[in-house]
Amino acid sequence: MAAQLTDSENAVIAAATPRYSRCKIEIGPRLSPAGGVAITGIDLSRPLPTAIRDRNAAFHTHHIVVFPQQVLTREQQFAFGAQFGSVEPAAGRGHGSKRYGVAHIISNLDQDGKPVDRSALPLSNYHWHTDKPYYRVPPMMTALYAVELPPAGGDTEFANTAMAYAALDGDTRRRIDGLRVVFYLGASAAGSACPSDAESRAAVAHPLVRTHPETGVKALYLGNHASHILGQPLAEGRALLKRLLAHATRPEFRYLHRWRVGDLVIWDNRCLLHRAVANFNLNQHRRILHRTVVRGTVPV
Ligand code: OGA
Ligand code: MN
């Protein structure tokens, strides 16, 4: 468990965050065996005290940190993310802004602002994935901030791939240690097809079992965008990835986050899978979140 902050750390934070000057920073209990913790009494619109930012213990211990009741502009959310590393520019269509320096928007709205259900599309966030594993240097952290939610549902679910790795039998672990996974954008839509020439050129290979650069803990790295195993026949690699994904997303490795407006949640893409859950009527209700993705290091 992450330790409570010391009184002097609390005093520094209270001084830096007038909105919360009467509050103590509090780190709650772990939200599930798989991870998650809530930290209250901190105003993320202001710079984090370096003690908090650098220690980062809650993030490394619990993998998912929930900061409830935040009031953040998109610029402030970007600045929050930038304290942890370099923030990825918005990519793709419909993200609300191409402008660098602001969090981008993810929603179920079409161009006319009408809710639409695109959850079944192969590239949607409603499949288990880690963010941008098809980058040579994939993100370490994603921050998502709830702006508008359906009346019920619209949750985000996480699966702890370090727990999943640790729970594998020794034979399987020996068999998969050292394998590399080929990732590319579009792999999820490929079915049984081979990557095209352009996709092959853009593909990257990362270790299937990666070692967390901060904690040294091993975790599976897979999910949507994973195509096959480098050097193995496509079908064989895909079957292995499918089996491992089913294992990694077993209920005991999961944490389900039920959002409240104002929650800012950060998660560790190096040891978690996640997905949006289509447990509301996407054609009827609006769901809007702001997103900031922080670059990590080359997986090893
Ligand atoms: C993401 C993502 C899940 C959600 O923004 O990377 O996967 O619940 N979001 O919206
Ligand atoms: Mn995602």
Rounded Cα distance, 180 and 13, in Å: 43
Instruction: Return the DSSP state at 129.
Output: B
Q: Is residue 20 part of a domain?
A: yes
Spatial strand order in the sheet of 226-229? 204-207, 180-183, 226-229
- List, chain by chain if needed, residues with CB within 6 Å of any ligand 1 atom: 106, 125, 131, 142, 144, 156, 274, 276, 289, 291
What confidence category does residue 12 fall into, taking pLDDT thresholds of 50, 70 and 90? low
56 CA distance to ligand 1 middle (Å): 22
Does any domain span residue 194?
no
Round the average pLDDT of the chain to a whole number and report it. Answer: 91
Q: What is the domain count for the chain?
A: 1
In a domain, 11, yes or no: yes
- How far is the CA of 27 from the CAs of 17, 46, 215, 224, 296, in angstroms? 17, 19, 20, 32, 25
Q: What pLDDT was estimated at residue 2?
A: 42
Within a domain: 85: yes
Catalytic annotation present for 171 = no
* Tens digits of residue pLDDT in 232-261: 999 999 999 999 999 999 999 999 999 999
pLDDT, position 11: 59
In a domain, 240, yes or no: no
d(CA 154, CA 208): 30
Among protein residues, the one whose CA lies closest to atom 8 of ligand 1: 276
Predicted confidence at residue 90, as pLDDT, reads 81
Pocket test for ligand 1, best of 129, 147, 275, 288 (most atoms within 8 A of CB): 275
Q: What is the CATH number of the domain that holds 104?
A: 3.60.130.10
Domain range for 55 is: 3-113+131-151+259-269+285-295
Q: Is residue 231 domain-resident?
A: no
Active site residue 225: no
Structure token pair of residue 151 = 């009346």
Confidence of residue 95 (pLDDT cuts 50, 70, 90): low
Name the residue type at position 248: A
Q: What is the pLDDT of residues 145-204, one digit of tens each?
A: 999 999 999 999 999 999 999 999 999 999 999 999 999 998 988 777 888 898 888 999
What's the 23 CA to ligand 2 centre distance in angstroms?
32
144: in domain = yes
Report angle CA 182, 82, 203 to the nearest 5 degrees.
Answer: 15
Query: Distance from the CA of 286 to the center of ligand 1, in angstroms?
Result: 14
Q: What's the predicted TM-score (pTM) here? A: 0.92
Is residue 26 in a domain?
yes
